Amino acid sequence: MNETRRPLIAGNWKMNRGGASGVALAGELAKLVSSLPHVDMVIAPPYTALAACAHECDGTRLEIAAQNVHAQQSGAFTGEISGAMLVEAGCRWVIVGHSERRQYSGETDEIVAEKVEASLRARLVPIACVGETIAEREGDRTLEVIERQVRAFIDIIDASDVPVAIAYEPVWAIGTGRTAGPSEAQEVHAAIRGWLGRKTTALASRTRILYGGSVKADNARALFASADVDGALVGGASLDAASFGAIARAAEALVPRAHSNEPA
Ligand code: PEP
């Protein structure tokens, strides 16, 4: 953690809690976030629960993300949802390029870049996901792959005045119980910040880089202690208020005392 960036803890509910149970969880988390003044907390319910969760969180510091967005603004795209529609449903954030979408829905680096651009056009804050597979890591290609994925959208985020988030999520750590060690995570986060810094120092210092991949209450603190880890994108553990709250509390406990009290 670093005193210039507020920690961001985002929960990706995936295809879970799409109805009343999601609204109930959002309500619990909305109460909990009031005791964590230094942490920004975001939940990403399924599309079907976005508006209801946004309504439930109205007036609290818990913000809503979608899990995906279409690159076009409107038109004949059956089953798709535009950025403007997400804003209308109460979203301020959107997860883009999650590895499950790259893997199961054929999202390429180019499509992810188009979606980052579409999000920013709609004034949504993208959480752009990058990550290597186990074969890429074992083939010593981690940094090469992450650099290619980041370069696909780096000019777009540099040109925008909206500070975005990047989530480093090693594919082999998602939902597997395996997690990158703090030094493995820090190595990739520092590399990402380095590439951002070659664009501008401002881009490097304003972009929050989250770690994702089996983050739990018991490993969060060690991950957050690294200088370039600004929070987490959490899957499984975000479906339970106590677990998600414990991860957010680990971030709150590490916030440098010099940090601003002002919510973002
Ligand atoms: C995710 O889906 O983004 C994720 C990190 O999942 P999990 O925490 O369950 O590994």
**pLDDT one-digit tens code per residue, 207-240:** 999 999 999 999 999 999 999 999 999 999 999 9
Cα(129) to ligand 1 centroid in Å equals 11
Question: CATH number of the domain that 70 lies in?
Answer: 3.20.20.70
CB 68 within 8 A of CB 101: yes
The reply to whether 262 falls in a domain is: no
**169 given a catalytic annotation:** yes
The reply to whether 1 falls in a domain is: no
The reply to whether 3 falls in a domain is: no
The reply to whether 263 falls in a domain is: no
The reply to whether 80 falls in a domain is: yes
Q: Look at the chain and report how many structural domains it folds into.
A: 1
The reply to whether 261 falls in a domain is: no
Amino acid 180: pLDDT: 87
The reply to whether 137 falls in a domain is: yes
Cα(13) to ligand 1 centroid in Å equals 9
The reply to whether 259 falls in a domain is: no
- Specify the pTM: 0.95
Q: Is 103 in the pocket of ligand 1 (CB under 6 A)?
A: no
Domain span at residue 176 reads 8-254
Summarised one tens digit per residue, pLDDT across range 25-40 is: 999 999 999 999 999 9
Give the mean model confidence (pLDDT) for residues 192-219. Answer: 97
Q: Is 213 in the pocket of ligand 1 (CB under 6 A)?
A: yes
Q: Is 50 exceeded by the pLDDT of residue 117?
A: yes
Assign 258 a pLDDT band (cuts: 50, 70, 90): very low
Among protein residues, the one with the nearest Cα to ligand 1's atom 7 is 235
Amino acid 96: pLDDT: 98
